[in-house]
Structure 1
Amino acid sequence: MLMDSLKLDSVDRQLLEALQADGRTTIGELAEKVCLSPSPCWRRVKQLEESGLIEGYNARLSRRKLGYGVTGFVHLQMENHTPEAAESFERAVVALPQVLSCHNLSGRYDYQLEVIGVDLETFAEFVRTHIRALPGVREISTSFSLKEIKRVIAIPIL
């Protein structure tokens, strides 16, 4: 659903900004930030959730402190491009918890996966045993992140 069709006003935008900054903000705190009383504030947040604009609330975890020292980007070229092959591949990749994101691409490669591993050895083993085994994969190319410059989950509110 497009933002235009939701008719977001400045209060909705402020609510979205505040919730992106801190999803644990209470309704009372949100109401104060946007100059509403708690009941109308709660109703607005509920409407934003029901519209699908707010998809959920998450805790941002430290990869490094959880033991994941390697982030790699795996580019995949598929053997064929039938809808059945894509559906089979996508269903299988969604089931792999080490794959943080998967994007269907234009250009030379068909998919890009963001994958984490404890270390280079476990990352390589994961690629050999799980990524190569994904349905329809013909070619794999991997790049490793040397340094993360920027990672945000907040989306600019237009």
Structure 2
Amino acid sequence: MPETLDRTDRRLLLALQGDARLTTAQLAERVALSPSPCWRRIKALESDGVIRGYHARLDATQLGWGVTAFVHIMLENHSRDLGERFEEAVRGIDRVIACHNVSGEYDYLLQVVARDLQDFGEFARDRLRSLPGVKEINSSLSLREVKSGPDLPVPDR
């Protein structure tokens, strides 16, 4: 995070999270800047790595993904090599939409999408169980999405 994230930067970040398609002129108006300084601030936030990219939010159901599952994975051991092989394999599976190395009983938490319950069962059996070093899998199915989105709170500094 940059040394100084001032009120204007925070307002820019919140506006972009709300709608990344805003033009520089629209953003400038929202944060009370002229377009040139607004553009420079955005570029600085990008180069500092605060803004990592711009994305469209897609509707999983509209794309045929009717099931979301949270899958806990326990590996056979905690060797660095096995962890790296597991993580590399997971990165290559597009239906795994998030993967976190976690503390606790399990080693990883995956968020997975599937067309339906049968599709998820086959995916878990055929794909997840064949990942490097998988010892145990525990799945929970989402009954209903209550809150979603990549928006982060923008802290005051």
TM-score (normalizing by structure 1): 0.96
Residue 111 of structure 2: aligned partner = 114
Q: Give the alignment partner of residue 130 of structure 2, picking from 130, 133, 144.
A: 133
In 2, the alpha carbon distance for the partners of 1:55 and 1:70 equals 28
Q: Give the alignment partner of residue 38 of structure 1, picking from 25, 35, 39.
A: 35
Residue type of the alignment partner of 2:54: Y
Residue type of the alignment partner of 1:138: K
Alpha-carbon deviation of 1:83?
A: 0.5
Residue 80 of structure 2: aligned partner = 83
Q: Does 1:13 align with 2:10?
A: yes
In 1, the alpha carbon distance for the partners of 2:35 and 2:73 equals 49
Residue 60 of structure 1: aligned partner = 57
Residue 92 of structure 1: aligned partner = 89
Alpha-carbon deviation of 1:153?
A: 1.2
The number of residues matched between the two structures is 155
Superposition misfits of 4+ residues, deviation over 2 angstroms: none
TM-score (normalizing by structure 2): 0.96
In 2, the alpha carbon distance for the partners of 1:46 and 1:6 equals 16
Residue type of the alignment partner of 2:131: L
Residue 29 of structure 1: aligned partner = 26
In 1, the alpha carbon distance for the partners of 2:134 and 2:141 equals 20
Q: Deviations for 1:105-158, whole angstroms, at most 9, x for unmatched residues? A: 111111111000011111111111110010000011111011111112110011
Alpha-carbon deviation of 1:6?
A: 2.8
Instruction: Give the unaligned 5+ runs of structure 1.
Output: none
Residue type of the alignment partner of 1:23: A
How well do the aligned residues superpose, as a CA RMSD in angstroms? 0.8
Instruction: Give the unaligned 5+ runs of structure 2.
Output: none
Alpha-carbon deviation of 1:48?
A: 0.4
What is the percent sequence identity of the aligned residues? 52
Q: Give the alignment partner of residue 142 of structure 2, picking from 119, 132, 145.
A: 145
In 2, the alpha carbon distance for the partners of 1:155 and 1:6 equals 19
Q: Deviations for 1:44-75, whole angstroms, at most 9, x for unmatched residues? A: 00000000000000000000000100001111
Structure 2 SS opposite 1:24: coil
